[in-house]
C-alpha cells in the first residue's frame, strides 16, 4: 500500500499544512521512513511522532519539518505541540478505524509538517496540526479527491497564497472586450471603467499590438491584474514563434488566422497546448470553417466566427454556423466566439444560438459610459461566475 494525503487547516501564523504518505514497512513508504530517520539534514531534522515521551502512536510516524529550523524557539514548536498533535491524530485515526487496526503493525506514516517561524500560540499549533493530520489520513485512506472532483474544481479553484487568480474559460458565455485603439492611455481609461466580472475577457487587439508589441499586455495587467487576456496576433506564419512571444508576456490565449497554412495552424495549436494557454483560430475570410478545422491535427480551444469591420453590412449573421460547428465536433469542448458589429440586440440572438464568447469592440470602447455598455451585455450572460466559487469539501 502506498497512499498520499494532504490537508491545510487554520489561519494566521499558526496555520497547519500536512503532506503525508502512509504505506507498508516493506514498500516505498517504509524505505522513505528508514531513509528519513537515518539521513538527517541541517534544519530539517526528522523526529518520531510521540503522544508523550516514550509513547509513539501506531502506526509509527516520522515527522519532517518543512521550514528550516534555525533556533531553539522554532525547534520547541516542532518538538512540542506539532509533534504531539500529529501523534495524537494518528492514534485517534487508528482508534476510529480510519487506519485499519489490523494493519497498524505493517504500516508507517511519513508526514511533512509546516510550522511558521512566527507562530506563537501553542494551543492553536496543536489544534490545527491535529485536525490537518487526521484529515490528511482520512483523505489518503479514502482516495480523496476523486477524479470527478478534480475535473469539476480545477478551473473554479483559487489558490489562497498565490496572490492572483488564474482565470479559465470553464463556464460560458463570456464577454470579450476588444481593445483595438492603438493609444495605450485611452485603452487604460477604458479599462478603468470596465466592471469587475469573471465573465469579462480582455483582448489586446491587433492595432494595439502592432503599435506597442506584445509587451502591451503588461500595461493592461497594471489596470486589470487578474484578467483573462487574449493576444490577437492573427498569426499567418511562424506559429510556434508567435505563440512563444505572447506566452512570454503572460497572455492567456493567442489568436491565429484561419487563413494560415495547415502546418502553421497545427504548429500554433501544438505550441499553445504545450505551454498551457488557449489556442484561438479566427475564421475571418475562411469560406468553410468546418472544412478547415477537420484538416487539423488538434482542434483549438476557441474558434471565432468573424466579420471584419469592412464587411459588417449586408453579410449573413453567422448564427446559423454556430450549431453546425459544434455539431461537427460533438466530442470536443470547442468554444465558439462571434465578433463583428455585436450589440445588445444581436448579442441576445447570439447567446440563444449557442455562442460561447461575444466579442465586442466599439460599442463598449467608444461608449460615453463604458460600464453601462458592459452591463448591457453582462445582463444577457447570467450571474457572475465568482458566485460559484464556494469552498465545499
Instruction: Give the length of the chain.
Output: 393
Catalytic residue among 17, 44, 118, 306: 17
Strand order from edge to edge, sheet including 47-48: 2-9, 16-24, 107-113, 60-65, 47-48
Q: Is 17 a catalytic residue?
A: yes
Return the SS3 of 296. coil
Contact call for residues 277 and 251 (beta carbons, < 8 A): yes
**C-alpha cell, 379:** 445582463
Please give the DSSP secondary-structure letter assigned to residue 225: T
Q: CA torsion 272→277→282→286, rounded to 10°?
A: 30
Return the SS3 of 338. strand
Residue among 109, 226, 97, 99 at smallest CA distance from 168:
226
Tell me the C-alpha to C-alpha distance, in Å, between residue 35 and each of 5, 31, 38, 103, 348: 20, 6, 5, 22, 64
Contact call for residues 187 and 209 (beta carbons, < 8 A): no
Element holding 84 (H helix, E strand): helix 83-95
Q: Are strands 302-306 and 278-282 parallel, antiparallel or unpaired?
A: parallel
Tell me the C-alpha to C-alpha distance, in Å, between residue 157 and each of 160, 288, 315, 386, 390: 9, 38, 41, 10, 9
Please give the DSSP secondary-structure letter assigned to residue 116: -
Query: Residues 37-64, buried b or exposed e (16+ Cβ, 10 A)?
Result: beeeeeeeebbebbbeeeebbbbbbbbb
Tell me the C-alpha to C-alpha distance, in Å, between residue 84 and each of 5, 195, 249: 19, 50, 48
Q: Which residues are catalytic?
A: 17
Amino acid at each position: 500500500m502506498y497512499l498520499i494525503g494532504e490537508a491545510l487547516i487554520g489561519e494566521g501564523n499558526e496555520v497547519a499544512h500536512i503532506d503525508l504518505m502512509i504505506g507498508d514497512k516493506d514498500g516505498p513508504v517504509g524505505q522513505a521512513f528508514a531513509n528519513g530517520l537515518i539521513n538527517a539534514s541541517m534544519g530539517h531534522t526528522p523526529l518520531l511522532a510521540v503522544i508523550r515521551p516514550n509513547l509513539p502512536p501506531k502506526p509509527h510516524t516520522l515527522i519532517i519539518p518543512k521550514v528550516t529550523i534555525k533556533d531553539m524557539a522554532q525547534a520547541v514548536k516542532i518538538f512540542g505541540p506539532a509533534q504531539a498533535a500529529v501523534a495524537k491524530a494518528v492514534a485517534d485515526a487508528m482508534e476510529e478505524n480510519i487506519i485499519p487496526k489490523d494493519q497498524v503493525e505493517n504500516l508507517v506514516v511519513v508526514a511533512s509538517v509546516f510550522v511558521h517561524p512566527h507562530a506563537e500560540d501553542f494551543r492553536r499549533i496543536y489544534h490545527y496540526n491535529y485536525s490537518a493530520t487526521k484529515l490528511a489520513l482520512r483523505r489518503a485512506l479514502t482516495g480523496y479527491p476523486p477524479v470527478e472532483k478534480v475535473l469539476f474544481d480545477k478551473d473554479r479553484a483559487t489558490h489562497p497564497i498565490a496572490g492572483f487568480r488564474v482565470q479559465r474559460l470553464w463556464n460560458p458565455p463570456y464577454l470579450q472586450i476588444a481593445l483595438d485603439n492603438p493609444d495605450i492611455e485611452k485603452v487604460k481609461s477604458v479599462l478603468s471603467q470596465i466592471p469587475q466580472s469573471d465573465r469579462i475577457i480582455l483582448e489586446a487587439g491587433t492595432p494595439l499590438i502592432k503599435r506597442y508589441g506584445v509587451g502591451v499586455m503588461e500595461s493592461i495587467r497594471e489596470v486589470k491584474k487578474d484578467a483573462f487576456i487574449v493576444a490577437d496576433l492573427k498569426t499567418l506564419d511562424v506559429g510556434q514563434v508567435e505563440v512563444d512571444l505572447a506566452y512570454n508576456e503572460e497572455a492567456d490565449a493567442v489568436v491565429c488566422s484561419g487563413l494560415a497554412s495547415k502546418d502553421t495552424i497545427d504548429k500554433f495549436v501544438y505550441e499553445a497546448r504545450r505551454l498551457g494557454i488557449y489556442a484561438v483560430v479566427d475564421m475571418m475570410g475562411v469560406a468553410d470553417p468546418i472544412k478547415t478545422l477537420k484538416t487539423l491535427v488538434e482542434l483549438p480551444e476557441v474558434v471565432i466566427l468573424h466579420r471584419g469591420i469592412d464587411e459588417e453590412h449586408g453579410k449573413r449573421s453567422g448564427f446559423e454556423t454556430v450549431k453546425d460547428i459544434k455539431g461537427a465536433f460533438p466530442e470536443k469542448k470547442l468554444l465558439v466566439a462571434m465578433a463583428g458589429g455585436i450589440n445588445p440586440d444581436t448579442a441576445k440572438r447570439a447567446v440563444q444560438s449557442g455562442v460561447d464568447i461575444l466579442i465586442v469592440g466599439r460599442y463598449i470602447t467608444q461608449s460615453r459610459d463604458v460600464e453601462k455598455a458592459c452591463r448591457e451585455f453582462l445582463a444577457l450572460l447570467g450571474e457572475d461566475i465568482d458566485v460559484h466559487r464556494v469552498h465545499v469539501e
